[in-house]
Structure 1
Amino acid sequence: MLDMNEIVGSHDILMITLDTLRYDVAMLERNNCPNLCGDGAWEKRHSPGSFTYAAHHAFFGGFLPTPATTNKKEHVRLFHSQNTGLRTHPGTWLFDTPDIVSGLAEEGYRTVCIGGVIFFSKKVPLARVLPDYFQKSYWRMNFGVTNPRSTEHQVNHALKLLEATPQQERLFLFMNVSAIHGPNHYFVPGAKEDSVETQRAALRYVDGELGRLFAAMRARQRPALCLVFSDHGTAYGEDGYYGHRLAHEVVWTVPYREFILK
C-alpha cells in the first residue's frame, strides 16, 4: 500500500473517474491501453455507488472503490476522516474536514475540477453540488457525453490550466471523463446502440487522449499520484437490466488503478 502520509504534501494528486466504465470492458482492453495499463493491471473493486452522483459523494468523502475480496485486511483506505473512533492503517492519510478536497486545500493544494457528465455541468443547483467541492471547477458543452471528442477537449483544458499553475504549487486535479458514458455508439462506425464493443472503443479513445495529460503531469517539478477508477458500470441487457442506478454485478464491479507519475 502507498503511504499517503508521505504522498500528501510531496506529490501532486491526479484523480480521474472513467464514468460508467465496466470492469470486464477494462480487462478486455487492458492490452490496448498503454497509458492506463502500461505499468500494471486493473484491480477488481466494488463501487460505493451505482450512479455518478452517489459514487462521487463517497469518493470525495474518502470512500474509494473497495477491493472485491472478502479479506477485510485488504480493505485499507488511502483517506480517512479523523476522530471517528475507528482503527486506521498507518499509511492512511487522515483529514479533519468534511471531505478530502477541502482537506487537501488545507494542506496547501490548489483543488481543480474538470467536469464531464451532467452532474458536473453547473446548469442547475443539483449540478453545482459536486463541482462546489473545489476551489476552481470547469465544464463546457464539449466536455459532455454528446461530444465524440470530449476527452480531447477536457485534456486540452487541463493542459492550459497546468501551464498557468506555478510549478511550486501543489495541485489536486480531478477529472470526470464522460466519453465512456452513453451514448458511446459513435465510437464504432455504423453502430446504432451502445454495447460492450462500443464502450471498449470509447475506452481506447480515452486512453489515447490521457497520454498527453500524463506527460504534462510528469513534466511538473514534483511527482504525481494518479488514481484512476470507474464510478460504476452499466448494464447492456444482462439479466434483462439496462443502464445503471441499479444493483447488478456489472454496475457495482469497477476497475481501479493507482500509480506514480514521475
Structure 2
Amino acid sequence: MPLNGAGPGAGGPGGVPRNEFGWNFFNADGTRQMAIQGPGHRKFGNPGPLGLISFASTTLILSLVNVNARGVKEPNIVIGMALGVGGLAQLLAGMWEFACGNTFGATAFSSYGGFWFAYASVLIPGTGILDAYNGTTDLDNALGFFLLAWFIFTFIMLMASLRSNLGLVLLFFFLDLTFMFLMIGSFLPAKVNITKAGGGFGIVTAFIAYYVGASELIPREAGYFTLPVYQLPRRD
C-alpha cells in the first residue's frame, strides 16, 4: 500500500505517513498505529469505525421504516438516533478526521452528520417545518428537493471514492441509489413501491457500512481475522 508523506513534517501529525483515502495512519514499515503508545507519546485513534457504524445504524432503522417492516410507517422513531448517533457521533468522527488529515473522511462524516441533524429537525414537532406545509403536496416536493441535494452530493463522494477501496465505492453507489429512489418517491408520492425500493437499497447500504466499519475496527494485529475491502489501484 503506497504511503503519502514519509518524511518529517509530511503526512499526518508529527510527520507520520498516512493513507490518502483510507481511514488509518501508518508507521514507516506499513503497520498501523495504535491509538495510544505509552505515556507522553499519544497518537490519534481511527475515527472511521465510529462514523461508519453510526451511519449504518441510523440508516438501517430509517430504511426499515421506509420498507414498512413489521407495519411501521411513521419515521419518528429515528429522531433520537438521527440526533445522537447519525448526527452527533458522525459529526465528531468528521472533526477528528480533519485532525488526522483525512479530507475525504472528514467531508463524508461531517456532511452526513449534518444530514441527520437536518432530517431530525424536519420530524421534530415544534420546529414548524412540517406545520408550514399543512399536509399539502408541497411537502412531498420539498422533501424531493432536500433528497435531490443529497443525491448530488453523494454522487460527488462516489466519484471521489473510486481510487480508495471497493467497500467504499459500493457504499456510496448504493447510498446514491437510495437517495435517488427516495427522491423519486417524494416527487411521485402515489408510487409507494419506489419509496420502498429506496428503503431496500438503504438496508443494503447500511450493511455495507457495517462491514467497512468492522473491517477498520478489526486490524490485522488486533484480531483473529480480517475483513478485506479490496484496495483499488491509485495513480503513481
TM-score by length of 2: 0.30
Higher relative contact order (CA 8 A, sep 6+): 1
TM-score by length of 1: 0.28
More strand by share: 1
Of structures 1 and 2, the larger Rg is shown by 2
